[in-house]
Amino acid sequence: MAIKLAEAERILAAAKDKAKEMGLKVVISIVDPRGDLVTMARQDGALWRAIPVSHGKAVAAAAYVAPTRDLHDRADGPVMRSLMLYTGGYMTPQQGGLPIKRGEELLGAIGVSGAKSAEDEVIGQAGIDAL
């Protein structure tokens, strides 16, 4: 089952609140299990390039059902490279993407970009914790 818009909006709101609390300007993307965008927010002042990166982190987390911090070392492997090409570059195996699950079921993923990667992940986790 894919994440519902109301759930994605609740996650997005909590992630935006966490970024504001941390004094950071980021882009937050939430995708369904296929990696299709459900919702996205670019905070005022966030860099334009954070848009495709946040989406790519979410796509990678959904595709591998894993935090993207665990994928970074595999980025140069043939499978990851082929998937990055297949998705037209919309897969970014850089810390800041997290799968969104209910039990063992994948609902989608969140990707955050615009701060340090570890901070991006903290913001994403705050969003998921609100679900």
- Check which CATH number belongs to the domain holding 78 and give it: 3.30.450.150
Domain count, the chain: 1
Token pair of 70 as six digits: 């665990």
Question: Residue 5: pLDDT above 80?
Answer: yes
pLDDT at residue 3 greater than cutoff 90: yes
What is the mean pLDDT of the segment spanning 39-48?
97
The pLDDT of residue 84 is: 83
pLDDT at 89 over 80: no
- pTM, two decimals, is 0.95
Handedness of CA 17, 131, 38, 65 (dihedral sign): positive
Average pLDDT over residues 3-29: 98
Angle at 66 between CA 105 and CA 30, to 5 degrees: 70
Asked if residue 76 has pLDDT above 90, the reply is no
Q: Does pLDDT of 77 surpass 90?
A: no
Structural domain of residue 9, as residue ranges?
A: 5-129
